[in-house]
Amino acid sequence: MSDDNVLHAIAGAGGGILSTLLTYPLLTLSTRSQIESRRASSSFVDAARRIIDREGLTGLYSGLESAIFGISVTNFVYYYWYEWSRSALHVRSGGRPGARIELGVVQNMLAGALAGSATVLITNPIWVVNTRMTAKAGPASVQSSAGSDAGSDREGLPTIEDPSGTKALQKKKLSTIGAVLKIAREEGWGAFFKGVAPALVLVANPILQYTVFEWLKKKVTEKRGVRNLDAKMVFVLGALAKLVATASTYPYITVKSRMHVAKTNDKKGMVQALKDIIKREGWAGLYGGIGPKLIQSVITAAFLFAFKDALFLAAVQARSRAALVKRK
């Protein structure tokens, strides 16, 4: 393992945890909006108020435990393989090992594709559990993966059967381990890989994100004549990059969320799931919850880039100090 690759991975995991803690309520609102029918949807403010009224402030943090675990693993795996892929492509194209990596747009996209695909296959089970916990929608309460009125009276949000949400009742929350065992017992281990197809398509999201970010970063550093950017500029560029990526790939985020909470016997594929949503809810159905999701994604990505850069530089400095002490 390259020491720098490991440091990038650790910094990415740490940055992901910090940024997720800051923005998780927005993710909760977005996830719940993605799995409910457009006809039963509510405004951003109404949804937040309803969750707080029925579940308290803690309702906005449903599934936080699994999300923190998931984001740390996801970011560690992604950043390690991303940096490893970039280094390998750099050397393959004639670059000197250890030198500053300068890759073209296509090479950066390829590195992102390799890292993203590996990350999806390793972490999809974590996000199935997180989506279930966030949505409070067990397998018995979800009618289908994409075209139906996904959601239940246990979600705390309105559904077709319960437009006003008056039937929604508090229920005992499962722990992450409890949720894992429940899914495995009732649906089998294959349920943990629902939504892999749209998740693999969504590999394009970080590819777009990091490609746009690297392009913007290169332009700004060249214009300013500097090697590194300050945290404020990294924050801004990270936000812009994530905005482009999320807006471009959002329909697949919706489909993935619906497939994560689908019934055990629902065997619809990704394409059919897309068609069903469009047929039942129109094109707008593919963009449920995009408001809070865009806000959450942009802020999270901006903080992630800023935190990751700061943590990476701190780790490099700590390693240098440790090396000096060792030599003495």
Amino acid 246: pLDDT: 83
Q: Pseudo-torsion of CA 150, 156, 157, 160, nearest 10°?
A: 50
14-52 residue pLDDT tens: 888 888 888 888 888 877 776 665 544 556 677 778 878
- DSSP 8-state assignment for residue 43: -
Question: Residue 138 pLDDT more than 70?
Answer: no
Mean pLDDT of the chain: 76
Mean of pLDDT values over 76-89? 85
- DSSP 8-state assignment for residue 150: -
Amino acid 63: pLDDT: 79
Closest CA to 220 of 243, 237, 242, 244: 237
- The structural architecture, per CATH, of the domain 3-139+175-326 is Alpha/alpha barrel (1.50)
- Which burial class, exposed, middle or buried, applies to 287 when counting CB atoms under 10 A from its CB (0-12, 13-18, 19+)? buried
Domain positions in the chain:
3-139+175-326
267-326 residue pLDDT tens: 667 888 888 888 888 887 888 778 877 887 778 877 887 888 888 888 888 888 888 877
283-300 residue pLDDT tens: 878 887 788 778 877 788
